[in-house]
């Protein structure tokens, strides 16, 4: 049984759009490549056919993973999110106590994480270390580069 994935409506819509692209555009394109390669003769020595079949296998794995994510997705009602402590779907402004640098992250499900837009997965060491903390509290987080100390400056939605 697959695990439930909590996400925003926006995140689920993005997954559905990607799934539609894969099933309606990319899947037929790969089938066409396989048919063209098959028409070229002996399949035992046809590298083009082998490459197309491998691409098809990878695509089908990705489609299955996305279908599983969509099927087990649960929409989080953003209007009911508590901001008294850090939890999934919160925007958290934190200050690195060593450098005094302030950064802001939104804690999201694994499928929605995008570090470039400031969305970190709830499964990352930083997110795990912040969960349950209140404004003003300090989180000591063990990251791959060592221990880091963050002060929670603000929690919002």
Domains of the chain from N-terminus onward: 5-75 (1.10.287.180), 78-156 (3.10.50.30)
Q: Would you give per-residue pLDDT tens digits along the chain (157 residues)?
A: 467 787 888 888 999 999 999 999 999 999 998 888 888 777 777 788 888 899 999 999 999 999 998 998 888 877 777 889 998 889 999 999 999 999 999 998 888 888 999 999 999 999 999 999 999 999 999 888 889 999 999 999 8
Cα distances (angstroms) measured from residue 20 to each of 17, 42, 65, 114: 5, 34, 13, 21
Q: What is the pLDDT of residue 2?
A: 64
Cα distances (angstroms) measured from residue 35 to each of 38, 49, 97: 5, 8, 60
pTM: 0.67
């Amino acid at each position: 049984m697959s695990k439930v994935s909590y996400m925003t409506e926006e995140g689920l819509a993005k997954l559905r759009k990607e799934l539609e692209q894969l099933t309606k555009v990319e899947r037929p394109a790969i089938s066409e490549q396989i048919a063209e390669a098959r028409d070229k003769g002996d399949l035992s020595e046809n590298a083009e056919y082998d490459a197309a079949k491998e691409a098809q296998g990878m695509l089908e794995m990705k489609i299955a993973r996305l279908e599983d994510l969509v099927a087990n997705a649960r929409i989080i009602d953003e209007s009911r999110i508590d901001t008294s402590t850090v939890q999934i779907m919160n925007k958290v402004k934190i200050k690195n106590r060593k450098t005094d640098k302030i950064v802001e992250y939104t804690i999201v499900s694994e499928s929605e994480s995008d570090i470039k837009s400031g969305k970190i997965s709830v499964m990352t060491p930083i997110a795990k270390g912040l969960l349950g903390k209140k404004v003003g509290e300090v989180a000591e987080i063990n990251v791959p580069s060592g221990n880091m100390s963050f002060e929670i400056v603000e929690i919002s939605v």
